[in-house]
Amino acid sequence: MNFRMQPTSQVDETATIGDGTTVWDLAQVREDARLGSGCIVGRGAYVGPGVRIGDNVKLQNYALVYEPAVLGDGVFVGPAAVLTNDCFPRSVDPTGRLKRGGDWQAVAVEVAEGASLGARSVCVAPVRVGRWALVAAGAVVTEDVPDFALVAGVPARRIGWVGRAGVRLVGRDGEPGGWQCPESGALYDEKDGHLVERA
């Protein structure tokens, strides 16, 4: 494999790192994690055991991706964003005994192809962020996000639609449910709270 890692990073020997991927200072990639080709793992980022990451994914500085998260191709995870994995987080059990790995069930955040998570956003597992969706900086995602949705707030709510370029779509005059990307010109159709690309 042809990947780059800084001397101060920690990449477990059982992790699989794709060609052209770079792991920067103080980043940690845990056992059995799989990263695709062309990825960037920023300074201080964390990739948990068994996490699956596609090609051309960017994890910005101090992003925390806890197992068993799955990230599709082209996903962007902003600085200090967090993908959680525990529905009922506690340090100890009801008797006061320190909880260990076998004392709770990890649940996943799934981020689909091309989606972006803004700086300091939090995805509270279990949740799925749809294809090409955009989660605003500081948002807290507690419910599934549809494909192409723009969500913001605490908890996150849909405030619009975005296209593949990440630019907010504009409605097409005289065409109810019709949307267009002002950057690329691509057309989209909305139906029953979902957006699809026009062929």
The model's pLDDT over 165-182, given as tens digits with 9 standing for 90+, comes to 999 999 988 888 999 999
Looking at the fold, whether 9 and 101 belong to one and the same domain comes out as yes
Which pLDDT does position 103 carry in this prediction? 86
The reply to whether 136 and 195 lie within a common domain is: no
- Calculate mean pLDDT across residues 33-44: 98
Q: Compute the average pLDDT of residues 117-141.
A: 98
102 plus 47 within the same structural domain: yes
Whether 1 has a pLDDT exceeding 70, the answer reads no
Q: Are residues 169 and 105 in the same domain?
A: no
How does residue 155 score in pLDDT terms, banded at 50, 70 and 90?
very high
Report the number of distinct structural domains present in the chain. Answer: 2
State the pLDDT confidence band at 63, using cuts at 50, 70 and 90. Answer: very high
* Shared domain check, 176 and 144: no
Report the CATH number at residue 58. 2.160.10.10
Rounded mean pLDDT, 96-100: 93
Instruction: List 17's β-bridge partners, or say none.
Output: 35
Query: What pLDDT is attached to residue 174?
Result: 83
Are 106 and 156 in the same domain? yes
In this structure, are 26 and 93 located in the same domain?
yes
Place of tokens 């101090």: 62
Residues 119 and 181 in one domain: no
Residues 145 and 191 reside in one and the same domain: no
List of residues 6+ apart from 85 with CB closer than 8 A: 48, 66, 67, 68, 69, 106, 107, 108, 109, 125
Q: What is the mean pLDDT of residues 21-33?
A: 98
Residues 15, 65 within the same domain: yes
- Give 29's contacts (C-beta < 8 A, 6+ positions apart): 9, 10, 11, 12, 15, 17, 23, 35, 41, 47
60 and 157 both lie in a single domain: yes
Same domain, 76 and 102: yes
Domain that holds residue 79: 4-162
For the question of whether the overall pTM of this predicted structure is more than 0.85, the answer is yes
The pLDDT > 70 percentage for the chain reads: 99
